[in-house]
């Protein structure tokens, strides 16, 4: 944790240079399935930016939607906004990696030099395109990660998720800056089209339904480990809503955790395992208190204190950076919610190999 905190503080904040002039052709890929309630707002936040229209295209890949997702995209009636039907390329029975196939199909038709990825239920910040283009033009990276946060929380569970994600963004940026651990989120990332093609796209990682973000990132990093970047700026943060119920939250996190066995970077898996076993040991020591005397009570309290201190040391600066210090009011209950979720998801991700994603049962 000291290493994460150190590298987060040392990671320089990226600002769009005064001398910046947009010259990079961008393609934004948005896989979407039954997102009629969200896709319009997502596209609106992209097209209203001041990036040159001749250098921007938005491609929505409609993944067998049964609602009006495709029609809403078509209603924008813009030359640089189009929708592709995944059903025209892939039969539902012939693949389980729908999102990866959607990205591959969209990318094959992309005219942009730099491919940006976000999700249909997200809204992007005002200078989002310029942040990525300026960073790419200045540093020539092969992969760029950027922050994702939750917003519009309505209950403790959602505030916990927001606080958890704020810390996760700090860990993500720190790991990339320190070149010792690479994580990212598919709602806010970019990579050059030719790099995706050079590494063979999702070939070799397409057996996992998810993983279009971290597995691809680690695959690209294995070829060019020193050219991975993270845009540290709260104004480049993509926003989405946290899961409203425990069931939807746990299902999401089990899906995320299920791909951990496919990570190619052992340090990521090792760090995740350390967190999991530490949290398990806290729960075990708590359960043993009635049977083994006061010694296990002291050990339990000591471990909780350690967890609270290190969590606080990470979450305070990261929540301040993202202007979400208000989330620290939920810090104390979040410590125990985090403990519960890590243990439950850690076990379920290894025992329950199936989960529901976008209305489909998959692995």
Which residue matches tokens 């979407």? Answer: 32
User: Residue 42 — left, alpha, or beta (φ > 0 → left; ψ -120 to 50 → alpha)?
Assistant: alpha
Which residues have C-beta within 8 Å of that of residue 323, sequence separation ≥ 6? 234
Rounded Cα distance between 239 and 109, Å, is 27
Please give, one letter per residue, the 3-state secondary structure of 171-198.
HHHHHHHCCCCCCCCCCCEEEEHHHHHH
Per-residue pLDDT band at 193 (split at 50, 70, 90) = very high
* Boundaries of every domain in the chain: 2-241, 267-356
DSSP conformational letter for 353: -
Per-residue pLDDT band at 165 (split at 50, 70, 90) = very high
Determine the topology of domain 2-241 in CATH.
Spore Coat Polysaccharide Biosynthesis Protein SpsA; Chain A (3.90.550)
Give start and end residues of each alpha helix (H) in the chain. Answer: 2-10, 39-47, 69-74, 98-108, 128-139, 156-177, 193-198, 214-223, 246-258, 266-292, 294-321, 331-351
pTM over 0.85: yes
Tell me the CA end-to-end span of the chain in Å, nearest whole number: 32
Q: pLDDT tens, 307-344? A: 999 999 999 999 999 999 999 999 999 999 999 999 98
Q: pLDDT tens, 125-161? A: 999 999 999 999 999 999 999 999 999 999 999 999 9
pLDDT at 209: 65
Structure tokens at 334: 């979040």
């Amino acid at each position: 944790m000291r290493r994460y905190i150190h590298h987060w503080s040392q990671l320089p904040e990226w600002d769009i240079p005064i001398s910046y002039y947009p010259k990079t052709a961008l393609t934004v890929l948005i896989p979407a399935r039954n997102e009629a309630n969200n896709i319009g707002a997502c596209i609106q936040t992209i097209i209203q930016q001041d990036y040159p229209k001749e250098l921007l295209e938005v491609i929505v890949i409609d993944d067998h939607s049964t609602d009006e997702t495709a029609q809403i995209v078509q209603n924008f009636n813009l030359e640089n906004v189009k929708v592709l039907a995944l059903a025209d390329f892939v039969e539902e029975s012939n693949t389980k990696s729908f999102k990866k196939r959607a990205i591959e199909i969209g990318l094959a038709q992309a005219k942009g030099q730099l491919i940006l990825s976000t999700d249909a239920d997200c809204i992007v910040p005002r200078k989002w395109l310029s942040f990525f283009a300026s960073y790419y033009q200045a540093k020539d990276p092969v992969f760029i990660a950027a922050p994702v946060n939750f917003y519009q929380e309505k209950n403790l569970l959602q505030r916990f998720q927001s606080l958890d994600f704020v810390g996760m963004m700090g860990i993500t940026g720190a790991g990339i800056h320190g070149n010792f651990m690479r994580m990212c989120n598919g709602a806010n990332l970019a990579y050059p089209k030719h790099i995706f093609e050079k590494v063979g796209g999702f070939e070799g990682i397409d057996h996992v339904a998810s993983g279009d973000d971290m597995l691809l990132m680690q695959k690209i990093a294995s070829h060019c480990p020193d050219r991975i970047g993270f845009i540290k700026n709260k104004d480049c943060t993509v926003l989405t809503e946290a899961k409203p119920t425990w069931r939807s939250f746990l299902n999401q996190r089990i899906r995320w955790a299920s791909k951990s066995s496919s990570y190619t970077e052992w340090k990521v898996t090792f760090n995740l395992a350390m967190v999991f076993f530490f949290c398990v040991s806290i729960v075990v020591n708590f359960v043993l208190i009635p049977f083994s005397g006061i010694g296990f009570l002291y050990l339990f309290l000591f471990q909780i204190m350690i967890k609270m201190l290190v969590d606080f040391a990470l979450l305070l600066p990261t929540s301040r950076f993202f202007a979400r210090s208000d989330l620290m009011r939920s810090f104390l209950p979040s410590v125990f919610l985090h403990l519960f979720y890590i243990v439950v998801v850690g076990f379920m991700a290894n025992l329950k190999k199936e989960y529901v994603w976008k209305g489909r049962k998959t692995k």
